[in-house]
Structure formats: structure tokens, C-alpha cells
């Protein structure tokens, strides 16, 4: 494994830079994106009402953040696997998942009760964090290894 990393210095460096970009998005989230839920989920949110929202800014912020995470994640997948068809498939999945998640997110907000706060927390987490990358990497690696046999 270490030998592969040493032999692919350029690819390793690119992946590290892309991961650092994901970390920068997370680090500067308060400055880059409108998200009143950042402070909401830092406090005692299990028994609180949701904050007042500017829905257009919220959708725009969530979409922009998801888009940045998706582009960087697809870059990581491309550098690792170098398969355009796989990237197209992953991009398609990202679009489908965003549609499902954003509809779910606003449905939870519309029918919000304090009992649904954890559901809101986790749906939002899937939108704002590159969690799908953590799912796609091992899945595509397994598929790649399976097809080589």
C-alpha cells in the first residue's frame, strides 16, 4: 500500500489538496453560507423551535455547499479511479440524493415538531457534509476489485 502511494505522488498530492478544500469549506462555513441551523444545532435544540428562515437564501446556501462538496468529491473519485463512467454515475447519484434530501429537509421543516429535531439534524448533515464520498469510496473500490477478478 505504501509503495502504491510513493509511486503515485502526484495523485496523492492532488487528493490531499482536495481533502484540504473540503476541510476549508467546513472551517469557513459560517462566512460562506447562510445557515441559521449552525447555531441552532450548537444550542439545546431538542426542545427548541426552529429559527426564522429566509428560504431562498437557505436553499441557495445548501445547494452551493452541496455543489462544492460534490465537485470536490467527484474530483477525489476521479483521481483515485480514473473512470469517467464511474464519475458520471456518481454525479447522477449525487443529483438524485440532493433532490431527495432537499425535499425531505423542507418537509421536516414544514411539519416540524421538537420530536423531529434529530431527523432534521441528520438530513441536514447529509446535505452539508461530504458523507456520500465516504460511502462511494469503499463501494467503488470493492466494485473495481470485483471486476478485476
End-to-end CA distance of the chain: 19
Give the pLDDT confidence of 92-143 residue by residue, as tens digits. 999 999 999 999 999 999 998 878 888 988 999 999 999 999 999 999 999 9
Question: What separation in angstroms does the CA of 122 have from each of 46, 60, 85, 125?
Answer: 13, 19, 30, 5
Predicted TM-score (pTM) of this structure: 0.89
Instruction: Give me the pLDDT at residue 5, please.
Output: 64
Residue 70 C-alpha cell reads as: 460534490
Condensed to tens digits (0 to 9), the pLDDT of residues 66-87 reads: 999 999 999 999 999 999 999 9
CB-based contact 72:18 (threshold 8 Å): yes
28 DSSP 8-state letter: T
**pLDDT value, residue 57:** 94
pLDDT at residue 46 in the model: 66
Considering only CA atoms, give the Rg of the chain. 18
**Domain residues of the chain, as ranges?**
2-148
8 A C-beta contact, residue 11 and residue 4: no
The model's pLDDT over 13-57, given as tens digits with 9 standing for 90+, comes to: 999 999 999 999 999 999 999 988 887 777 776 667 788 889 999
Amino acid at each position: 500500500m505504501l509503495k502504491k502511494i510513493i509511486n503515485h505522488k502526484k495523485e496523492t498530492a492532488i487528493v490531499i489538496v482536495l481533502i484540504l478544500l473540503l476541510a476549508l469549506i467546513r472551517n469557513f462555513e459560517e462566512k460562506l453560507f447562510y445557515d441559521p441551523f449552525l447555531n441552532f444545532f450548537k444550542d439545546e435544540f431538542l426542545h427548541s423551535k426552529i429559527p426564522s428562515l429566509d428560504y431562498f437564501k437557505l436553499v441557495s446556501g445548501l445547494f452551493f455547499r452541496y455543489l462544492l462538496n460534490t465537485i470536490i468529491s467527484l474530483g477525489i473519485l476521479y483521481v483515485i479511479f480514473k473512470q469517467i463512467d464511474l464519475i458520471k454515475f456518481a454525479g447522477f447519484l449525487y443529483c438524485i440524493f440532493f433532490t431527495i434530501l432537499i425535499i425531505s429537509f423542507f418537509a421536516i421543516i414544514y411539519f416540524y415538531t421538537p420530536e423531529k429535531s434529530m431527523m432534521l439534524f441528520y438530513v441536514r448533515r447529509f446535505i452539508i457534509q461530504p458523507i456520500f464520498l465516504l460511502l462511494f469510496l469503499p463501494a467503488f473500490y470493492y466494485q473495481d476489485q470485483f471486476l478485476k477478478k
